[in-house]
Homo-oligomer: A and B are copies of this chain.
Amino acid sequence: MAYLRLSHDDRRAQLLELGKRHFLARPYESISMDEVAEEARVSKGLLYHYFPTKREFYMACLRSAIDELLAVTQPVADAAPDVTLRGAIDGYLRYVEEHATAYQAVLRGSIGSDPEVSAIADGFREAIYRRIAAALPEPPGPLLGLAIKGWIGFVEAVSLAWAPTRHPPRAVLVDLLAGELAHVLQASGGAPLTPPS
């Protein structure tokens, strides 16, 4: 077996990429650490050095996918709120388009109502919630808070249903999702999003 010399971080990144290709596209039970090690051309011992158990490897892959989703929906500095929102939604849907199976795995979990898997997805929802709340002129009250969480659920349900066919095209969905947030904010007594100060 030919070892490629990589730094610790590069090796970890390589293994994560490979792990995501497997874990986020196939049932958890069907994946063997042996197979992943072989494909990465590393020893099984080295794979376990980075990820001590299959479960930890899986969780690291989920977290990495969530980090990607957070990165592609990152607000653009100094942009108008509407531009930021539409850019974030577009980035999100682009991710769904390119990684449909991964997206479904992250949101639905693939080793179940495992509390740790749910916590990863909930952490993502909370991060999105905080970004929206931060763009409001004042902290959301109870009703507005629920409405924002509802909108996040709206986006997920639309995206999950859209992922298999990706029809209608992304731009149509960006309009729908951005329009809904504006309406939800207005209907629950919130002010429109404000430009970053």
A-side residues, CB < 8 A to B, are 108-114, 117-118, 142-143, 145-147, 149-158, 160-162, 165, 167-168, 172-173, 176, 179-180, 183-184, 187-188
Choice from B113, B157, B176, B184 contacting A180 with Cβ under 8 Å? B184
Interface contact B153-A176, CB-CB below 8 Å? no
A151 & B154 in contact (Cβ 8 Å cutoff): yes
| Complex contact B161–A188 (CB within 8 A) | no
Question: Most B CB atoms within 10 A — which of A152, A158, A172, A179?
Answer: A158
CB distance from A20 to the nearest CB of B (A): 17
Question: Which residues does chain B contribute within 8 Å of A108, judged by CB atoms?
Answer: 113, 118
Question: Smallest Cβ distance from A103 to chain B, in angstroms?
Answer: 14
Question: From A108, which residue of chain B is reached at the shortest CB distance?
Answer: B113
Residues of B within 8 A of A111 (CB): 112-113
Complex Cα gap A191–B112 (Å):
38
Min CB gap A45→B, angstroms: 30
- Taking CB atoms, residues of chain B closer than 8 Å to A153 are 153-158, 160
Starting from the known contacts A108-B118, A109-B112, A183-B187, 10 additional A-B residue pairs (CB-CB under 8 Å) come to: A110-B113, A112-B113, A113-B117, A146-B173, A147-B176, A150-B154, A150-B158, A150-B180, A154-B154, A176-B187
18 contacts between A and B (CB under 8 A): A108-B118, A111-B112, A113-B114, A113-B117, A145-B161, A146-B158, A146-B168, A146-B173, A146-B176, A150-B157, A150-B161, A150-B180, A153-B154, A153-B157, A154-B157, A179-B187, A180-B184, A183-B183
- Of B112, B114, B167, the residue contacting A142 (CB under 8 A) is B167
Which B residue's beta carbon lies closest to that of A125? B157
Q: What's the least CB distance linking A60 to chain B, in Å?
A: 18
Answer whether A143 and B118 are a contact pair too, CB < 8 Å, given A113-B109, A150-B154, A158-B149: no
